[in-house]
Amino acid sequence: VASFNGFAINGIGPDPRAGQVACKQGRTTGNSCGVTWGRGQNPGTILAQVCGGPGDSGAPVTVDNRLVGMIHGAYS
Protein backbone atom coordinates (compact mmCIF):
# COMPACT_ATOMS: atom_id res chain seq x y z
CA VAL A 1 0.00 0.00 0.00
CA ALA A 2 1.32 3.40 -0.96
CA SER A 3 -0.25 6.75 -0.11
CA PHE A 4 0.56 10.35 -1.05
CA ASN A 5 -1.55 13.30 0.08
CA GLY A 6 -4.52 10.99 0.64
CA PHE A 7 -4.14 9.26 -2.73
CA ALA A 8 -3.79 5.54 -2.00
CA ILE A 9 -2.64 2.69 -4.20
CA ASN A 10 -3.67 -0.69 -2.79
CA GLY A 11 -2.27 -3.07 -5.41
CA ILE A 12 -2.74 -3.60 -9.13
CA GLY A 13 -6.21 -3.69 -10.64
CA PRO A 14 -7.73 -5.11 -13.81
CA ASP A 15 -8.46 -2.94 -16.85
CA PRO A 16 -11.37 -0.67 -15.92
CA ARG A 17 -14.76 -1.07 -17.54
CA ALA A 18 -16.65 1.79 -19.17
CA GLY A 19 -18.49 3.80 -16.54
CA GLN A 20 -16.08 3.14 -13.67
CA VAL A 21 -14.52 6.15 -11.94
CA ALA A 22 -10.76 6.57 -12.42
CA CYS A 23 -8.60 8.94 -10.35
CA LYS A 24 -5.10 10.33 -10.79
CA GLN A 25 -2.56 12.21 -8.67
CA GLY A 26 -0.62 14.50 -10.98
CA ARG A 27 2.44 16.60 -10.14
CA THR A 28 0.96 19.70 -11.77
CA THR A 29 -2.81 19.43 -11.32
CA GLY A 30 -3.06 17.24 -8.20
CA ASN A 31 -5.91 14.81 -7.66
CA SER A 32 -8.85 14.49 -10.03
CA CYS A 33 -11.35 11.81 -10.94
CA GLY A 34 -13.56 11.11 -13.93
CA VAL A 35 -15.53 8.48 -15.77
CA THR A 36 -13.76 5.77 -17.77
CA TRP A 37 -15.02 5.63 -21.36
CA GLY A 38 -13.46 2.30 -22.30
CA ARG A 39 -10.54 1.01 -24.29
CA GLY A 40 -8.45 3.41 -26.32
CA GLN A 41 -7.63 3.18 -30.00
CA ASN A 42 -4.17 1.71 -29.34
CA PRO A 43 -3.60 -1.63 -27.55
CA GLY A 44 -3.09 -1.23 -23.82
CA THR A 45 -4.70 2.21 -23.64
CA ILE A 46 -7.79 3.33 -21.73
CA LEU A 47 -9.81 6.52 -22.21
CA ALA A 48 -10.85 8.25 -19.01
CA GLN A 49 -12.08 11.74 -18.21
CA VAL A 50 -9.52 12.77 -15.59
CA CYS A 51 -8.19 16.33 -15.78
CA GLY A 52 -4.49 16.69 -16.41
CA GLY A 53 -1.98 19.15 -17.72
CA PRO A 54 1.64 19.52 -18.75
CA GLY A 55 3.81 17.86 -16.10
CA ASP A 56 1.21 15.23 -15.15
CA SER A 57 2.52 12.57 -17.58
CA GLY A 58 3.39 9.41 -15.71
CA ALA A 59 0.95 10.12 -12.89
CA PRO A 60 -0.70 7.00 -11.45
CA VAL A 61 -4.32 6.25 -12.40
CA THR A 62 -6.43 4.15 -10.06
CA VAL A 63 -9.89 2.61 -9.93
CA ASP A 64 -11.10 1.68 -6.43
CA ASN A 65 -7.58 2.55 -5.15
CA ARG A 66 -5.99 -0.09 -7.39
CA LEU A 67 -3.42 0.95 -9.99
CA VAL A 68 -4.69 0.55 -13.57
CA GLY A 69 -2.38 2.83 -15.54
CA MET A 70 -0.66 6.18 -15.84
CA ILE A 71 -1.39 9.51 -17.47
CA HIS A 72 -0.11 9.78 -21.03
CA GLY A 73 -1.29 12.43 -23.46
CA ALA A 74 -4.62 14.16 -23.69
CA TYR A 75 -7.41 15.18 -26.04
CA SER A 76 -8.18 18.86 -26.42
Successive 10-residue mean pLDDT values, the chain, 76 residues: 82 92 92 90 83 89 92 66
Q: pTM above the 0.85 mark?
A: no
Contact at 8 Å (CB) between 59 and 25?
A: yes
Contact at 8 Å (CB) between 60 and 70?
A: yes
* Per-residue pLDDT, 46: 82
* Per-residue pLDDT, 13: 93
CA atoms within 13 Å, Cβ hemisphere of 41: 2
